[in-house]
Amino acid sequence: MTFPVYVNVFGLHLHPHALFELLAYTCGFQLYLFLRRRWSRAAVPLETNLWLIVGCVFGALVGAKLLAWLESPLHYWENRANLSALLGGKTIVGGLLGGWVGVEIAKRRLHVTHSTGDVYVFPLILGMCLGRVGCFLTGLADHTYGVHTSLPWAVDFGDGARHPTQLYEIAFLLVLGALIALRMRRPYENGSLFRLFMLGYLAFRFAVEFIKPVYDPYLGLSMIQLACLAGMACCAWSLAQRPAEANPSTVPSGAAT
């Protein structure tokens, strides 16, 4: 296999990263709309929901870019005169944490006091899995691969066999989604599923960063790993404050966290 693996669609030669990123946003949003129509627990009015989504989007954009800058400060400083380089690059961890913060700010402004983000869990899992397919097919240019290894399932992206960390992430997300689906069979409080998702994903990202060729000047840790630790601490503390509901419905719906 030669990377990047372009995809032919109706005669068009499409780059895999752009194609699967578009599929991730489109399919994830469609699943969100489907689940929101079906589940009404902890729902908020449509106008309020739209403002929460705005907070989520802007928070995610800022978080994804800010953490990318902090993760590779030398690279961005060397290319500070190149606007496209400064604006390029983003991190899923930063996007998730930034989106969470953005929603919490919007909720405070709108006086929304209950958690309503569990409906986003499965759309996020679907979108992230599709996005990582694009990362894998892009190869070295995407900078999401692992370090060199001799394991039998290693993939040669063009410079020798490496850990296919993109595929590891897809497999983990599918397992995490299955475990959360099982958790839904028992009583839970609004927001618990979202926090379980965040806790699980951040723990995975903290671990998998050790087999990635990343810049790790902070006591052997990367900035993404430090962000993961902070997010995991917030999730664990929040979950500890949430007793299970006595009479839950299927799954909460609404806007965010």
At 150-178, the pLDDT tens digits run 999 999 999 999 999 999 999 999 999 99
Rounded alpha-carbon distances, angstroms, from residue 205 to 18, 20, 95, 123, 228:
23, 21, 13, 19, 7
Q: Which three-class secondary structure state does DSSP give residue 238?
A: helix
Going by the DSSP 8-state scheme, the letter that residue 219 receives in this structure is: T
- The residue extents of the domains of the chain are 7-38+115-240
User: pLDDT class for 41, splitting at 50, 70, 90?
Assistant: low
Using one digit for the tens of pLDDT, what is the confidence trace for 177-204? 999 999 999 888 888 999 999 999 999 9
Please tell me the predicted confidence (pLDDT) of residue 43: 67
- Calpha distance 240→152 (Å, rounded): 41
In the predicted structure, residue 257 carries a pLDDT above the cut 50: no
Please tell me the predicted confidence (pLDDT) of residue 252: 43
What number is the average pLDDT over the span 16-22?
Answer: 95
Please tell me the predicted confidence (pLDDT) of residue 254: 39
When the pLDDT of each residue in the chain is averaged and rounded to a whole number, the result is 88
Please tell me the predicted confidence (pLDDT) of residue 46: 75
Please tell me the predicted confidence (pLDDT) of residue 112: 86
Helical axes 46-71 vs 223-240, angle rounded to 10°: 140
The residue among 244 and 65 whose pLDDT is bigger is: 65
- Calpha distance 16→6 (Å, rounded): 6
Q: Is 128 in contact with 166 (CB distance < 8 Å)?
A: no
What number is the average pLDDT over the span 129-140?
Answer: 97
Which residues have a Cβ under 8 Å from the Cβ of 164 and sit 6 or more positions away?
136, 145, 146, 153, 154, 155
Using one digit for the tens of pLDDT, what is the confidence trace for 78-118? 777 776 666 667 899 999 999 999 999 999 999 888 777 89
The residue among 167 and 249 whose pLDDT is bigger is: 167
Q: Is 113 in contact with 66 (CB distance < 8 Å)?
A: no
Please tell me the predicted confidence (pLDDT) of residue 246: 39
In the predicted structure, residue 27 carries a pLDDT above the cut 70: yes
